[in-house]
A and B are shown apart, each in its own frame.
Chain A
Amino acid sequence: MRRRVLPGFGLSFGYAVAYLGLIVLLPLAALAWKASGIGFEGLVRLLSAPRTLAALRLSVGGAVVAALINVVIGLLVGWVLVRYRFPGRRLFDALVDLPFALPTAVAGIALTTLYASNGWLGRWLEPLGIKVAYTPLGVFVAMVFVGFPFVVRTLQPVLSALERDVEEAAESLGAQRWQTFFRVILPMLAPALLTGFALALARAVGEYGSVIFIAGNIPMRSEIAPLLIVQKLEQFDVAGAAALGVAMLLLSFGLLVLVSLLQRWSQRWAERAA
């Protein structure tokens, strides 16, 4: 065994674990403990309540749809930013991160104003019969907004590293451009697209700030799960809030496992390609 010349393992490891334990793990333990207070029956009653189910369906279903939309748009934007040269490219590239940098409350009120019936976009969409603000559609729009950078940013490094020879080989063998894209390029991008999808999904499932303004928060219709937690807390139903929190956390953990599996898969794919 090599002698350790570098110092500070005890200090850095101890500090990191203690900090993590106090800031993250102890509070999460309190969550699990408080949630158990409502008992199994209480949990079943809570999770099978129509209002809870509707909210969970909107949060999870909306996040899945939003992440799918982000895969398509992210592919387009990532492709254009990496492959083509045009004036303002770097500016637009920097702009992609705006949803990360803009506080969610600010995004929320801006999107609401934009899509309200007298807003810049709302006034064009409303005559077409498309109502966005204060409907479930508004929830999707906000979820697409907050998850947008993930797909682009996971895709860009992979796109840049993509060997052009493969495409050229496919084309010299007589493949059409679209054939090359769907049969050669897309399979190589799939792992990154899936990782971006999972990250955007995980973000949108728990999203609160940008959604609550535009959602209108109509029970059973445009009410998201995190809002239900806030309401339970306001009614001093601490155990109910905790139980819902645990349910959401388990959903997120499932997604986290998915992300790590996808990352492992994409890594193996990268090693095989190299």
Chain B
Amino acid sequence: MNARKHSRRVAWPRRMVHLILIVLALVFLTLFLLLPLATVFVEAFRQGIGPYLEAIKEPEALSAIQLTLLVAAIAVPMNVVFGVAAAWAMTRFEFRGKALLGAFIDLPFSVSPVVSGLVYVLLFGAQGWFGPWLDHHGIKIIFAVPGLVLATMFVTLPFVARELIPLMQSQGSEEEEAARVLGASGWQMFFRVTLPNIRWALLYGVLLCNARAMGEFGAVSVVSGHIRGLTTTMPLEVEMRYNEYEYVGAFAVASLLALLALVTLAVKTLLEWRYGDEIAAHAPGGH
């Protein structure tokens, strides 16, 4: 009894070490992560709430918000459909080249955002493969909304698939096979068995995909052309205002993006707490 008590209680020099390590980690997290976050809001409200609201209500800001929502509203669903299809093929069937397909899905994570935008300029820009043809038919992709959408789709392509594949792999296909044997059609099986089984992981993937889609900077900056009110998304509006020394305006728009990041983190944490088992143990995905 006495011996057990002794081994359970941590000796005080070791407790000091624990305390020092905890303090070191928390000081780092505070200085390195919390302080930049706080800076965004402090700078945004530096001149009070009036100038902050004005900066957000400017037409350029409003159109940037609209454009960001529009781009995400197209890119995210596209990648959801792709993610579900890719995960279904990868986890329910055996085929040659599966590892290669998996590697290609991950590819955008290891491509610099600038290169992700550049490739579309090379495809659709004035000097690109399809540039002359597009120009002849009066279709604009680069320096226009379609280019922004494509670049965003490229950058956020892996998110949903990466969440679904490990989960569907570990769940196996017994329930789906049972549904089929009992006479369910393919779509019935999908909507009544597969989708309910993966809904939380799907939501998790959508959350991360959306955060990246709305916050993407490098890729969209290459294809945007920075035409104010037409092709500037929120992150680009932040950059333009900042470079024009409009600090309150830049941080005001930035604060909206920071708020989006906080909401994303909150929902993500909530999903992990409540549905941790239904969201596969996932390797950290890059951005």
Question: Which A residues lie at the B interface, using CB under 8 A?
Answer: 4-9, 11-13, 15-17, 19-20, 23-28, 30-31, 33-34, 73, 76-77, 79-81, 84, 86, 88, 90, 92, 94-107, 109-111, 113-114, 119-121, 144-146, 148-150, 153-154, 157, 177, 199, 202-203, 205-209, 213, 225-227, 229-230, 233, 236, 238, 241-242, 245, 248-249, 252-253, 255-256, 260
Question: Which B residues lie at the A interface, using CB under 8 A?
Answer: 14, 17-18, 21-22, 24-26, 28-29, 31-37, 39-40, 43, 78, 81-82, 84-86, 88-89, 92-93, 95, 101, 103-115, 118-123, 125, 127-129, 150, 153-154, 157, 173, 176-177, 180-181, 186, 189-190, 208, 211, 214-218, 221-222, 234-236, 238-239, 242, 247, 250-251, 254, 257-258, 260-262, 264-266, 268-269, 281, 283-284, 286-287
Q: A238-B127, A245-B118 are in contact. Are A80 and B254 (CB under 8 A)?
A: no
> Are the C-beta atoms of B21 and A79 separated by less than 8 Å?
yes
> Are the C-beta atoms of A202 and B39 separated by less than 8 Å?
no
Min Cβ gap B27→A in Å is 11
> Are the C-beta atoms of B109 and A101 separated by less than 8 Å?
no
Expressed in whole angstroms, the Cα–Cα distance for A149 and B268 within the complex equals: 15
Partner of A103, one of B17, B122, B257: B257
Partner of B176, one of A6, A27, A236: A6
Expressed in whole angstroms, the Cα–Cα distance for A106 and B110 within the complex equals: 21
> Are the C-beta atoms of B154 and A226 separated by less than 8 Å?
no
Q: A6-B176, A97-B265, A245-B118 are in contact. Are A148 and B32 (CB under 8 A)?
A: yes
> Are the C-beta atoms of A103 and B215 separated by less than 8 Å?
yes
> Are the C-beta atoms of B33 and A99 separated by less than 8 Å?
yes
Please give, as numbers and ranges, the residues of chain B lying within 8 Å of A76 by CB-CB distance. Answer: 21, 24-25, 28
Main secondary structure of the interface of A (DSSP, over half): helix
Min Cβ gap B126→A in Å is 9
Min Cβ gap A52→B in Å is 15
Please give, as numbers and ranges, the residues of chain A lying within 8 Å of B85 by CB-CB distance. Answer: 11-13, 15-16, 19
Q: A208-B112, A229-B114, A253-B110 are in contact. Are A110 and B36 (CB under 8 A)?
A: yes
Q: A24-B154, A104-B217 are in contact. Are A31 and B287 (CB under 8 A)?
A: no
Q: A23-B154, A145-B32 are in contact. Are A103 and B286 (CB under 8 A)?
A: no
- Total A-B Cβ pairs within 8 A: 286
Min Cβ gap B250→A in Å is 6
> Are the C-beta atoms of A84 and B177 separated by less than 8 Å?
no
Expressed in whole angstroms, the Cα–Cα distance for A203 and B127 within the complex equals: 29
Please give, as numbers and ranges, the residues of chain A lying within 8 Å of B84 by CB-CB distance. Answer: 12
Please give, as numbers and ranges, the residues of chain B lying within 8 Å of A226 by CB-CB distance. Answer: 112-115, 218
Please give, as numbers and ranges, the residues of chain A lying within 8 Å of B157 by CB-CB distance. Answer: 20, 23-24
> Are the C-beta atoms of A209 and B217 separated by less than 8 Å?
yes
Expressed in whole angstroms, the Cα–Cα distance for A149 and B286 within the complex equals: 9
> Are the C-beta atoms of A249 and B181 separated by less than 8 Å?
no
Residue of chain B at shortest CB distance from A88: B26
